[in-house]
Amino acid sequence: MAPHISQCSLFSYITLFHLIFITLAQSDNYIIHMNLSDMPKAFSTHHTWYHSTLSSVLENSQLTTTNNLNSQILSKLIYTYTHAMNGFSANSSPKEHESLKNSLGYISSIPDLPLKIDTTHSPQFLGLNPNKGAWHDSNFGKDVIIGFIDTGVWPESESFKDIGITNIPSKWKGQCENSIHFDSSLCNKKLIVPLYEDPVAIGTFAAMEKGVFVSTSAGNDGPDLTTLHKGTPWVITVAAGTMDRDFHGTLTLGNGFGVKAAPSVDSYSSRGPSYSCKFVLKPDITAPGTSILAAWPTNVPVFELNSHKFFSKFNMDSGTSMSCPHVAGVAALIKGAHRDWSPAAIRSAIMTTSDIFDNTNEQIKDIDSGDKATPFALGAGHVNPNRALNPGLVYDVGVQDYVNLLCALEYSQQNITTITRSSSNDCSKPSLDLNYPSFIAFC
């Protein structure tokens, strides 16, 4: 005989399920910035403070769905932050999120949104030689750690084998952990996994303060002006250029045009200036970004033809996400040769020693227009690693210089605090005159 369920019990079950579903459907993830100096002395750690803050804003409707309040809070708390910023990320409903804004120590909150992501021959194209120049003089960037932030990595690829790589630097404090998406056995000596409304700008400001050089992609929304999405002045922003390598097939051009000069700025590379900080010229530099041979996941087709999918361990890919790592690598070589240089000094060296002429001794062209590339497309020029190690004049910038810029841009004290993570910002000398290796004039 089938089990009997009363209409009342069934109605209660449906109502409870509906309540849980509606609550989950309306919740979202937020990154919450907190002022650590406001933490009450009753809390031994910032983690317990955040735990208590979350518990104080949980909606009563959610608390009735579980007998374990502690478990409920832990399920909503995602991460806590102590280095790039102080705060935590959590899943909360609109009502809970509004309540959080009234919590002690609250500074600001940012929705957790997905970020749009924007090599073989390129070292030779850049003039890198293992026996002399930047590679040799920097000891190949030994003991310099490069952090790579993107949508993921395919660790099984042969590109990530650690053959010839020296031991992991002793200053590395991370560890390789297992997860449902990553097998820690794949870690080796090469793969060591671990503006005020812009989490990237906030996080990179903290990195700059700690002496970490940050290379970011300009974006792939060109060729129109002002398509560059991030004008953060304390990072280097990289446009994408072509190389002198061709893959030949049978092709007849109507105008008889033959070999293209290289490098040139590709049409997809985003152009400046950036609305987020239009007083700083962006992009800063161009690097190889077109037709870069890169590792490729074997479960993602390289292309499709007549409904047939073709797979490969490698793929020719293009984008500023290809050019950005080239500059990060060049920065590592400079840091290896000049351990005491600041991120601004490294950026200056890269920009002031860049090339503005191509391999035909003509000024670098813009593929979209066919004309000479402007600084809004090219930046200071195309990166030249060997010259960057000995730039001569260096334009250095300190933390207070960036604060003076933010003050001159009329950011509020609260907004500046969100970026700098400090409430003692000095705005007595606001200035748009940043000691930058380039400048922009508005007529």
Q: What tens digit of pLDDT does each residue of 217-263 get?
A: 999 999 999 898 778 999 999 999 998 766 544 444 555 445 568 89
Indicate whether 43 and 70 sit together in one domain.
yes
In the chain, the percentage of residues whose pLDDT exceeds 90 is: 45
Task: Name the most confidently modeled range: 68-77, 132-141, 392-401.
Answer: 392-401
pLDDT surpasses 80 at 51: yes
- Is residue 19 in some structural domain? no
Indicate whether 78 and 140 sit together in one domain.
no
- Is residue 208 in some structural domain? yes
- Is residue 310 in some structural domain? yes
Is residue 385 within 8 A of residue 333, CB to CB? The reply is yes
Indicate whether 325 and 344 sit together in one domain.
yes
Indicate whether 220 and 347 sit together in one domain.
yes
With vertex at residue 21, the alpha carbon angle to CA 18 and CA 24, rounded to the nearest 5 degrees, is 150
Number of domains in the chain: 2
Higher pLDDT, 23 or 427: 427
Indicate whether 291 and 355 sit together in one domain.
yes
Q: What tens digit of pLDDT does each residue of 14-31 get?
A: 444 444 444 444 788 999
pLDDT at residue 143, as a whole number: 75
**Which runs of consecutive H residues, i.e. helices, occur in 58-182?**
60-63, 69-76, 94-100, 122-125, 134-137
- Is residue 61 in some structural domain? yes
Take residue 300 and report the two structure tokens written for it. Answer: 């993602």
pLDDT surpasses 90 at 12: no
pLDDT surpasses 70 at 97: yes
Alpha-carbon torsion (409, 410, 412, 413), positive or negative: positive
E-only strand ranges, 102-247:
106-111, 215-217, 236-241
Higher pLDDT, 384 or 64: 384
361 dihedral zone (left: phi>0; alpha: psi -120 to 50; beta): left
Indicate whether 125 and 267 sit together in one domain.
yes
Q: Which residues contact 301 (CB under 8 A, 6 or more apart)?
A: 309, 310, 311
Q: Which residues contact 115 (CB under 8 A, 6 or more apart)?
A: 200
Q: Give dist(CA 261, CA 241) in Å, integer.
A: 11
Q: Give dist(CA 135, CA 176) in Å, integer.
A: 28
Q: What tens digit of pLDDT does each residue of 281-313 get?
A: 999 999 999 988 888 888 889 888 888 888 888
pLDDT at residue 294, as a whole number: 83
Q: List the one residue out of 267, 198, 196, 269 whose CA is nearest residue 230.
A: 198
Omega within 30 of 0 (cis) for the link into 263: yes
- Is residue 93 in some structural domain? yes
- Domain boundary among the residues 111, 130, 153 is at 111
Q: Residue 283 is part of which domain span?
A: 121-161+188-245+260-420
Which of 46-50, 170-174, 408-412 has the weakest average pLDDT? 170-174
**CATH number of 409's domain:** 3.40.50.200
pLDDT at residue 154, as a whole number: 65
Omega within 30 of 0 (cis) for the link into 283: yes
By CB neighbour count within 10 A (0-12 exposed, 13-18 middle, 19+ buried), where does 427 fall?
Answer: middle
Q: Give dist(CA 166, CA 143) in Å, integer.
A: 8
Indicate whether 105 and 128 sit together in one domain.
no
Indicate whether 105 and 207 sit together in one domain.
no
Indicate whether 70 and 145 sit together in one domain.
no
The confidence band for 118, taking pLDDT boundaries of 50, 70 and 90, is low
- Is residue 52 in some structural domain? yes
Indicate whether 103 and 131 sit together in one domain.
no
- Is residue 13 in some structural domain? no
pLDDT at residue 2, as a whole number: 47
Indicate whether 388 and 345 sit together in one domain.
yes
Indicate whether 102 and 233 sit together in one domain.
no
- Is residue 177 in some structural domain? no
Count other C-beta atoms under 10 Å from residue 78's C-beta: 14
pLDDT at residue 10, as a whole number: 44
pLDDT surpasses 50 at 101: yes
Q: What tens digit of pLDDT does each residue of 353-376 get?
A: 999 999 889 999 999 999 999 999
